[in-house]
Amino acid sequence: MSWSAAAYSRFEAERTQPVLDLIARLPPRPFARVADLGCGPGNSTEALRARFPDAHITGIDSAPDMLRAARARLPGLTVTEADLTVWASQSSEPGFDLLFANASLQWVPNHARLLPRLLSRLSPGGILAIQVPNHYREPPHRVMRAIAGQAPWAEALRGAATTLIHHTPRWYFTTLSKAGARVTLWQTTYFHILPDAHAIVAFFQATALRPCLDRLSPTAQQEFLARYHEAIARAFPPLADGTVMMPFPRLFLLAERPA
């Protein structure tokens, strides 16, 4: 399964609110050069353009379908197809005033090396703004790990359910501070009201479930998703109106490179 801009955008309101909240915490000053790291279908880039209309903004993503959607959404947008690990290690481009990474770095390995490299791409006084999911103890992930460890999927999915990278707030603060940044961090838990348990499955099918589904045949994918849906329906009983409430904690960080 490749990244699908349409599947990701099905829950655009829920995925974009953290973008707006992270942008709202940026200092009220101009940012001339901005890179949206993991721009996806352009929802985060669009919000950045609205906040910084005079900035030169580059959208960066490794998924062609996401970049096609971003170009269609924002004609004239400068986009780069790149793996963020490789991009962060390059040194040919001038310093950026803002590197914005909304729900993307959890897909990139070795944060101990990645974060200092990203800081080095900033101009003096530049900011690395990060939002990463912090929901790995919530039922959608617990259920995924449990089912991935069961027959008949255990052998094929060994390690797949723990692909996403995550660290504690203390780890992020310590790592970025040691790299010389001034760090602010906070966490917000969003309570998404979704139509039913099927919607929760679809929400994660577009993102966190992908490493598992990528290893399975189409038939095995459907069997896995059916088992996943059964467990999710038990974990999220419906509200009085039939909808379900899904808590989703997210960790936010602002790391400023000293001027």
- Tell me what the pLDDT averaged over the chain comes to: 95
The predicted-structure confidence for 116-132, as pLDDT tens digits, reads as follows 999 999 999 999 999 99
The CATH number that domain 5-256 falls under is: 3.40.50.150
SS3 (DSSP) at 183: strand
What residues does each domain of the chain span? 5-256
Higher confidence at residue 93 or residue 45? 45
At 94, which amino acid appears? P
pLDDT computed for residue 91 by the predictor: 62
Question: Rounded to two decimals, what is the model's pTM?
Answer: 0.95
pLDDT computed for residue 259 by the predictor: 84
Please tell me the distance from the alpha carbon of residue 177 to that of residue 44, in angstroms, as a whole number: 26
The predicted-structure confidence for 198-211, as pLDDT tens digits, reads as follows 999 999 999 999 99
96-102/33-37 β-pairing: parallel
CB atoms within 10 A of CB 209: 24
78-81/182-194 β-pairing: unpaired
DSSP 214: T
pLDDT computed for residue 200 by the predictor: 98
CB atoms within 10 A of CB 76: 5
Give the model's confidence band at 164: pLDDT under 50 very low, under 70 low, under 90 confident, else very high. Answer: very high
* 1 has a pLDDT exceeding 50: no
pLDDT computed for residue 81 by the predictor: 93
The predicted-structure confidence for 70-92, as pLDDT tens digits, reads as follows 999 999 999 999 999 999 887 66
* 94 has a pLDDT exceeding 60: yes
pLDDT computed for residue 92 by the predictor: 63
Considering just the CA atoms, what is the radius of gyration of the chain in Å? 19
- Mean pLDDT across 177-205: 97
- Mean pLDDT across 211-240: 97
DSSP secondary structure string, 101-166?
EES-GGGSS-HHHHHHHHHHTEEEEEEEEEEEE--TTSHHHHHHHHHHTSTTTTTTTTTGGG-S--
* 185 has a pLDDT exceeding 90: yes
pLDDT computed for residue 244 by the predictor: 98
